[in-house]
Structure 1
Amino acid sequence: MTQFTRSAAVAKALDAGHPVVALESTIVTHGMPWPQNLEVARRVEATIREAGATPATIAVMDGELRIGLEDDQLEQLAQARQVAKLSRADMAVCMARGGTGSTTVAATMIAARLAGIEVFATGGIGGVHRGAENSFDISADLQELAQTEVTVVAAGAKAILDLPKTLEVLETLGVPVMAYGQDQLPAFWSREAGLRAPLRADTALQIAQAHRMRARLGLPGGQLIANPIPVESEIPRATLAPIIAEATRDADTHGISGKDLTPYLLQRIYELSDGRSLEANIALVLNNARLGAAIAQELSALPV
């Protein structure tokens, strides 16, 4: 029994050695309301195609791990209700029970590796939550980056997190963190987190070469490419800080934690920013998709 099913377009591209970029599906099921979620998902896929690669949106549908969705399947997922949010711990259980679930960063990386996809573009990774010294709330995304050989393009870690601690954990786990085109680490909606990035990459080729060299050295894990949001779309850190602080206080007041915390905070920040956070989120995802396609093209031209 195969572990996954590829869409026709993804199968054709992979079999021919053409560039493919993996996409998560949590943004479709948990990130935006209908029908905006479908519109944005289609825009992200179209952006990757325009940049010369094939998009592979990943999800579990009726127990089947799908690597790439046909358009009708994407629409079905966008309208689905009570979709599980899957990470490393629960993806296999969902599949075994015939369930439907959207993939987080960790689950998307696992599925991409199974399918032979080397690049994954997303919005932002999870990380160490504020107050983790008491709650121990640390995303499985960080451990996945340390053990699964996929290059992940994101606008940094989500700004709602404890970014210094997230960076420290990534360093401890041996994950290369490269800021793209700048020395400062970006912070999701903002171009700068107030932290210097450990590494810098200025071209897609440099990123692809580092990916190949890790494989040659037998190093486990992937690499995180922190791609800053476009200048015209960013929300400055000084503007965001009080909004994030208020949203975090609200979550504490209502006892929100675990898997419910990130969606709650993102929704609350959307409300407090009068929708600016969602506009910025869309811009950074499209920007990451373009860079992901460029890296995938370079990798397809390099010897394995």
Structure 2
Amino acid sequence: MMPHVTLPPRPASPLDPLVAPEVADALAAGRPVVALESTLLAHGLPAPRNRATASALEDVVRAHGAVPATVAVLDGRPRVGLDAEALDRICAGGVAKLSMRDLGVAAGLGLDGATTVAATAWLAAAAGVEVFATGGLGGVHRGARETWDVSADPATLARTPVAVVCSGVKSILDVGATLEVLETWSVPVLGFGTDAFPGFYRRDSGVPVPWRVDSPADAAAVWRAHRATGGGLVLAQPVPVDAELDADLHDRLLADGLAMVAARGIVGKDVTPALLEHFHSGSDGASLETNIALVTANAALAAQLAALL
């Protein structure tokens, strides 16, 4: 008979997230938790509004009965749930922008980084969080037929069991192509109270949504059924009416911004931050207020959804 041998435990993966005590307690007790991304804070909003928004989003989630879990990487360790000091570090600037492909690099080199939609969703799911609020998804960039510039968000959501509450995809993208890619990856898209897919700064991107729900309860019912597939879901809520960016201003800034990034040779993950900054500066801050309003509304809806689950 072979002698019994006790093997040492398998080392934890460097990508196993460190879950904040409040978040861990809520998950253990079955209380609602909402994940929040950090790229919005580090690369989408200017200081000091980014830090104020970080606190405001967490307050909104709490006000609707859920526990907030902002996601980031600090000193190479993924975190699900950040304290005030960690939020300060993320909002101070100078941190990397981390999508899925970058998580192992950041962990291996001990870097600080803000997580995109794809990385946030994956880390949230790894911690057991199934609802995530953000501003807009990444997707297919204009001109992708030549550049192959497609965000990791759709493919990651296809294999990550998280319901993402957003305001559609950023209007700087090819919206129709992005919805086609989401369909290819079997990611259902629900319009919340709308038949039109939201366009981030604008309530209507000009493209219809495949499905519509009109209550958090209906969204929860769909998610309960869909999560058995192991993939994610998109719940798309338009920006509040009173915060929508003027259509003529939006179209002018978009055209000028696309010309600007082409002229400067800006490509890849640097395109979105450059265009968002162009919108912020060119609209005298109006787009910033729109961005904050829509992500705040999404955090509230996500908390309601999480509470029902």
Q: Report the TM-score, using the length of structure 1 for normalisation.
A: 0.95
Correspondences of 1:232-271 after superposition (within 5 Å): 232-271=242-281
- Alpha-carbon deviation of 1:215? 3.0
Q: State whether residues 249 and 283 of structure 2, in contact with CA within 8 Å, keep that contact through their aligned partners in structure 1.
A: no
Query: Are 1:277 and 2:287 an aligned pair?
Result: yes
Residue in structure 1 matched with residue 101 of structure 2 by the alignment: 89
C-alpha distance in 1 between matches for 2:143 and 2:246 = 23
C-alpha distance in 1 between matches for 2:89 and 2:166 = 26
Correspondence for 1:78 among 91, 111, 135: 91
Q: Which runs of 4+ in 1 moved over 6 A?
A: none
AA aligned opposite 1:165? A
Correspondences of 1:46-125 after superposition (within 5 Å): 46-81=59-94, 83-125=95-137
Residue in structure 2 matched with residue 134 of structure 1 by the alignment: 146
C-alpha distance in 2 between matches for 1:106 and 1:184 = 24
Residue in structure 1 matched with residue 36 of structure 2 by the alignment: 23
Residue in structure 2 matched with residue 302 of structure 1 by the alignment: none
C-alpha distance in 2 between matches for 1:52 and 1:59 = 23
Considering only aligned residues, what root-mean-square deviation do their CA atoms show, in Å?
1.1
Superposed CA offset, 1:83-124 (max 9, x none): 111111110121121111110000001101100000000000
C-alpha distance in 1 between matches for 2:227 and 2:133 = 20
Q: State whether residues 192 and 237 of structure 1, in contact with CA within 8 Å, keep that contact through their aligned partners in structure 2.
A: no
Correspondences of 1:184-195 after superposition (within 5 Å): 184-195=196-207
Secondary structure of the equivalent of 1:253? Answer: helix
Q: Report the TM-score, using the length of structure 2 for normalisation.
A: 0.93
Q: State whether residues 191 and 236 of structure 1, in contact with CA within 8 Å, keep that contact through their aligned partners in structure 2.
A: no
C-alpha distance in 1 between matches for 2:152 and 2:262 = 22
Greater CA drift, 57-66 or 71-80: 71-80
Superposed CA offset, 1:157-196 (max 9, x none): 0010011111111112111111100111110011111111
AA aligned opposite 2:90? L
Between Structure 1 and Structure 2, how many residues are aligned? 296
- Alpha-carbon deviation of 1:57? 0.2
Q: State whether residues 127 and 157 of structure 1, in contact with CA within 8 Å, keep that contact through their aligned partners in structure 2.
A: yes
C-alpha distance in 2 between matches for 1:274 and 1:73 = 30
Greater CA drift, 164-173 or 255-264: 164-173
Correspondence for 1:6 among 5, 16, 19: 19
- Alpha-carbon deviation of 1:7? 1.2
Q: Measured at CA, do residues 61 and 79 of structure 1 come closer, stay the same or move farther in structure 2, by a change above 3 Å? A: same
Greater CA drift, 97-106 or 71-80: 71-80
Superposed CA offset, 1:209-257 (max 9, x none): 11111234xx231010110110000014443122101100011000000
Greater CA drift, 265-274 or 72-81: 72-81
- Alpha-carbon deviation of 1:80? 4.2
Instruction: Name stretches of at least 5 consecutive residues in structure 2 with no aligned partner.
Output: 1-11
Secondary structure of the equivalent of 1:58? Answer: strand
Correspondence for 2:52 among 24, 39, 44: 39
AA aligned opposite 1:138? V
C-alpha distance in 2 between matches for 1:196 and 1:289 = 23
Q: Please identify the structure whose Cα radius of gyration is greater.
A: 2
Secondary structure of the equivalent of 1:72? Answer: helix
Identity of aligned residues (%): 46
C-alpha distance in 2 between matches for 1:185 and 1:276 = 22
